[in-house]
Amino acid sequence: MTFVSVALTVAHAVAHAVAHAVAHAEVIAVGSAMVQDAVMTAPAIPSRPTAVVTGASSGIGAATARRLAAEGFDVIAAARRTDQLDAVVADIAADGGTAQAVRCDVTSDESVAQLAAAVPGPLTLLVNNAGGALGLDPVETGSIDEWRWMYEVNVLGTVRVTQALLPALERSGAGTVVVVSSTAGLIVYEGGGGYTAAKHGQTAVAETLRLELCGRPVRVIEIDPGMVKTDEFSLHRFRGDAARAAAVYEGVREPLVAEDVADCIAWCATRPHHVNVDRLVVRPLAQAAQHKVHRG
Ligand code: 8X3
């Protein structure tokens, strides 16, 4: 462990202890006020921070839900696939964390409204992670349907969920919106037109939102991962072609894994609230740039 990582670990532990002390004080305050205020209808003060994570059924989303629960967040894990989501929530509970599963399709107004209704009170953290890639065709021949899906889920999904949850984030007095975009939101590559266009769009949403919320108690953090080996990202991109998906990571000694990105998200989200990590770009050591990957 380097000096820097030791220092960060110690700082993190101290920040955590302070957060727990504050949370404990809130519980005591709520507890002592409870008897005399039993007839009042004041909203419950959350004794623990709460987080919503979209796309939480697998990959970076599932790892982030697990990690935030371990950090002391009450997690609302949202995704379309409830069987996988239930497994993530069960894992969190088995590890002593608190989480609930909410079925949510970020491309549906109605579904996102149901997600917002499931948030019990002030919300500390929203992680807009739902997204994905489809295809690797040139612009000349790319499928309009694939482009549309990528724009819907990556860009409009982020906007829709953020719009729905901003009131609860603001009510917390110290909210955080994380947008999980990609290095594909910063640079383009051949065959990546639909995905890079969508990720550039998602990045633009994060940057615009930060400007618009300036002066209000909600910070906006953009996370841009490069090559991350998950069970589904490339398999989904290539519509189940396992050989093509495996070739993406072939010979790469240590691609990032979902837990690496979850670690970055958790670190950013647990800084003191006045510290706004605008953008965190993270790649494996073997990937010096989008086009420069060491294999072998
Ligand atoms: C994933 C990064 O390189 O596949 O968001 O576009 S890349």
- Among 22-36, 101-115, 231-245, whose mean pLDDT is lowest? 22-36
Residue 257 has pLDDT above 80, yes or no: yes
- Cα 226 to ligand 1 centre (Å): 5
Share of the chain above pLDDT 70, in %: 84
Of 47, 67, 84, which residue sits at a domain end?
47
CB atoms within 10 A of CB 79: 25
Q: Do residues 33 and 111 both lie within one domain?
A: no
- Cα 101 to ligand 1 centre (Å): 27
Q: Which residues pair with 158 in a beta bridge?
A: none
Q: Do residues 34 and 130 both lie within one domain?
A: no
- Parent domain of 32: 1-47
For the CA of 184, the closest atom of ligand 1 is 6
pLDDT interval class at 111 (50, 70, 90): very high
Query: With a 6 A CB cut-off, is 184 part of the ligand 1 pocket?
Result: yes
Q: Do residues 12 and 141 both lie within one domain?
A: no
- Cα 53 to ligand 1 centre (Å): 20
For the CA of 195, the closest atom of ligand 1 is 6
Q: Do residues 20 and 165 both lie within one domain?
A: no
200-205: list long-range contacts, CB under 8 Å, 24+ apart. Answer: 201/151, 201/154, 201/155, 202/131, 202/154, 202/155, 202/158, 203/179, 205/155, 205/158, 205/159, 205/162, 205/179
Q: Do residues 138 and 24 both lie within one domain?
A: no
Q: Do residues 72 and 150 both lie within one domain?
A: yes
Residue 242 has pLDDT above 70, yes or no: yes
Distance (Å, whole) CA 100 – CA 79: 11
Contact 208, 163 (CB under 8 A): no
The separation between CA 102 and the C-alpha centre of its own chain, rounded to angstroms, equals 15
Q: Do residues 79 and 206 both lie within one domain?
A: yes
Query: With a 6 A CB cut-off, is 182 part of the ligand 1 pocket?
Result: yes
Phi, psi of 142 (to 5 degrees): -60, 150
Residue 7 has pLDDT above 60, yes or no: no
Atom 2 of ligand 1: nearest residue by CA position: 226
- In the chain, where does DSSP find H-type helix? 3-34, 59-70, 82-94, 109-118, 144-150, 157-171, 193-212, 233-237, 242-249, 258-269
Query: What pLDDT, on a 0 to 100 scale, did the predictor assign at position 44?
Result: 44
Q: Do residues 239 and 203 both lie within one domain?
A: yes
Query: With a 6 A CB cut-off, is 154 part of the ligand 1 pocket?
Result: no
Query: With a 6 A CB cut-off, is 183 part of the ligand 1 pocket?
Result: yes
Residue 237 has pLDDT above 60, yes or no: yes
Tally the domains of the chain.
2
CB burial of residue 37 (10 Å; 0-12, 13-18, 19+): exposed
Residue 216 has pLDDT above 80, yes or no: yes
- Cα 140 to ligand 1 centre (Å): 20
Q: How does strand 98-103 pair with strand 125-128?
A: unpaired
Q: Do residues 110 and 196 both lie within one domain?
A: yes
Distance (Å, whole) CA 255 – CA 154: 23
For the CA of 226, the closest atom of ligand 1 is 2
What letter would DSSP give residue 108?
-
- Cα 184 to ligand 1 centre (Å): 6
Q: Do residues 208 and 272 both lie within one domain?
A: yes
Query: What pLDDT, on a 0 to 100 scale, did the predictor assign at position 46?
Result: 54
pLDDT, tens digit, for every residue of 162-180? 999 999 999 999 999 999 9
For the CA of 189, the closest atom of ligand 1 is 6
Residue 151 has pLDDT above 80, yes or no: yes
Q: Do residues 27 and 155 both lie within one domain?
A: no
Assign residue 133 the CATH number of its domain.
3.40.50.720
Residue 118 has pLDDT above 70, yes or no: yes
Q: Do residues 87 and 102 both lie within one domain?
A: yes
Atom 5 of ligand 1: nearest residue by CA position: 182
Distance (Å, whole) CA 246 – CA 231: 10
CB atoms within 10 A of CB 150: 25
Instruction: Verify whether residue 189 is a known catalytic residue.
Output: no
pLDDT, tens digit, for every residue of 32-64? 222 233 333 444 445 799 999 999 999 999 999
Q: How does strand 292-293 pair with strand 287-289?
A: antiparallel
What letter would DSSP give residue 90?
H
